């Protein structure tokens, strides 16, 4: 199967007599060079996605003596009509992405502009902001769950600031505060990475444009609006797409810090799929949730592409 897909294009090339043999040779070499990556992509992405698609219409079990049976759309009906946790996971995921995408990209841009100044010690700042990115998310999550405890760091700080008037909150055990707590941590952890990407975009802008703008006598806002922002367009598209996909895939923080609780306040689509499909061994249902997730991410990415393209 993979063999024929990788070979097919060369056949087409062969039919086009007008092309030079050098071009044909080049195309063939290109496919040959790409084939290991394509093969791995097929093995670890293509086949699993197809399997997910097939399994989501069955009642397949992770561990069971019974063969999977075709059950039609039952898994999807169950998700939307009999599983309140799924609905909650869906809205939680959407809420998380809606808050994190603008906040994180905006904050990262502000930080990037800040550390792009030519002042002393700016490298130290960049390092400090980037540090959480290279720390494992699991480690970060465990550390922050200590901060969020009832007698943890945040409550002590708030207590000191309010002169003892603050009533301690168990941040992760309160349905109202658990998700905001995870959002704060997630933004803090990943903002450094996106700052660096914005920074590379900023430094790719031709300084001559700023000089010309200075000659025209622009103020700070106009410089940002008419020089910096248009120069950052492709960076913006990249950051928007990566943050959105990362935000929709929220899992580690939830798994380590809250197990989806309290009362489903932090359950997400990926977490729910793992819990159902793997921990409760219901592969068919887990696949159905994953498929819904896949379609949602695909749709959002396509919409984003369409929207950002119109900017051109």
Partner 1 sequence: MNTTRRTFLGLGATAAVAATLAACSSQQGGSGSGTSGGISLWTHNGGNEEELAVVEKAVAAFNEANPDTPVELKSFPQASYNDSIAAAAVAGDLPDILDLDGPIMPNWAYSGYLAPLQISSELEESIIDSAKGYWNDTLYSVGPYDTSLCFLGRKSAFEAAGVPIPTVDEPWTREEFDDALAKLSELPDYSYAIDFSVADSAEWWPYAYAPMLQSFGGDLIDRETFETAEGFLNGDAAVQWGEWFRSCFTKGYASETPATDGQDFLQGKVPLYYAGGWKVLQSQETFGEDEVLILPPVDFGQGAHVGGGSWQWGVSATSSNQEAANAFIEFLMQDEYLVEYSNAIGNFPSVASATPKTEYYAEGGALEPVYEIGTKYALLRPATPGYKVISSIFDKAARDIVSGADVKATLDQAVKDIDADIASNNGYQSK
Please give the residue ranges that form the binding site for partner 1 (CB under 8 A).
1-4, 6-7, 10-11, 14, 28, 32, 35, 39, 43, 59, 61-66, 78, 82, 84, 149-152, 170, 172-175, 259-264, 275, 279-282
Q: What is the largest CA-CA distance in the chain?
A: 84
Q: Which is nearer to partner 1, 141 or 264 (CB)?
A: 264
Judged by DSSP in three states, 299 sits in helix
Q: For residue 71, give Cα distances in angstroms to 78, 213, 282.
A: 11, 65, 13
- How large is the C-alpha radius of gyration of the chain? 25
Write down the least CB distance from residue 23 to partner 1, Å.
Answer: 14
184-216 as b/e: b if 16+ CB within 10 A: bbbbebbbbbbbbbbbebbeebeeeeeeebeee
Q: Which is nearer to partner 1, 149 or 213 (CB)?
A: 149
Write down the least CB distance from residue 35 to partner 1, Å.
Answer: 6
Q: Which is nearer to partner 1, 99 or 168 (CB)?
A: 168
Write down the least CB distance from residue 278 to partner 1, Å.
Answer: 9
Angle in degrees, 0-180, between the axes of helices 84-115 and 178-203, rounded to the nearest 10: 40
Q: Which two tokens stand for residue 86?
A: 């799924």
Q: Which is nearer to partner 1, 70 or 229 (CB)?
A: 70
Angle in degrees, 0-180, between the axes of helices 74-81 and 84-115, rounded to the nearest 10: 80
Write down the least CB distance from residue 294 to partner 1, Å.
Answer: 23
Write down the least CB distance from residue 20 to partner 1, Å.
Answer: 14
Q: Which is nearer to partner 1, 5 or 301 (CB)?
A: 5
């Amino acid at each position: 199967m993979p063999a024929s897909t990788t070979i097919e294009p060369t056949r087409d090339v062969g039919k086009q007599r007008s092309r030079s043999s050098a071009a044909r040779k080049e195309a063939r070499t290109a496919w040959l060079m790409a084939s290991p990556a394509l093969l791995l992509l097929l093995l670890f992405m293509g086949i699993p996605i197809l399997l997910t698609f097939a399994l989501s219409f069955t009642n397949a079990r992770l561990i069971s003596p019974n063969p999977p049976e075709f059950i039609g759309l039952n898994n999807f009906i169950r998700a939307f009509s009999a599983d309140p946790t799924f609905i909650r996971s869906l809205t939680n995921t959407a809420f998380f992405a809606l808050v994190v995408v603008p906040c994180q990209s905006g904050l990262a841009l502000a930080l990037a502009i800040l550390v792009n100044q030519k002042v002393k010690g700016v490298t130290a700042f960049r390092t400090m902001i980037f540090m959480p990115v290279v720390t494992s998310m699991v480690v970060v999550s465990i550390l922050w769950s200590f901060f969020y405890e009832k007698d943890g760091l945040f409550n002590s700080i708030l207590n000191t600031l309010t002169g003892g008037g603050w009533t301690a909150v168990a941040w992760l055990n309160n349905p109202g505060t658990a998700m905001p707590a995870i959002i704060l941590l997630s933004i803090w952890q990943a903002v450094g990475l996106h700052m660096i990407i914005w920074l590379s975009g900023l430094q790719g802008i031709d300084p001559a444009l700023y000089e010309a703008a200075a000659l025209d006598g622009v103020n700070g806002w106009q410089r940002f609006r008419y020089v910096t922002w248009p120069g950052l367009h492709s960076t913006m598209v990249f950051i928007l797409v990566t943050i959105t996909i990362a935000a929709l895939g929220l899992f580690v923080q939830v798994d380590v810090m809250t197990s989806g609780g309290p009362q489903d306040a932090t359950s997400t689509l990926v977490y729910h799929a793992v819990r159902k499909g793997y921990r409760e061994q219901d592969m068919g249902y887990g696949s159905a949730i994953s498929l819904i997730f896949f379609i949602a991410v695909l749709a959002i990415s396509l919409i984003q592409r369409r929207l950002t393209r119109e900017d051109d």
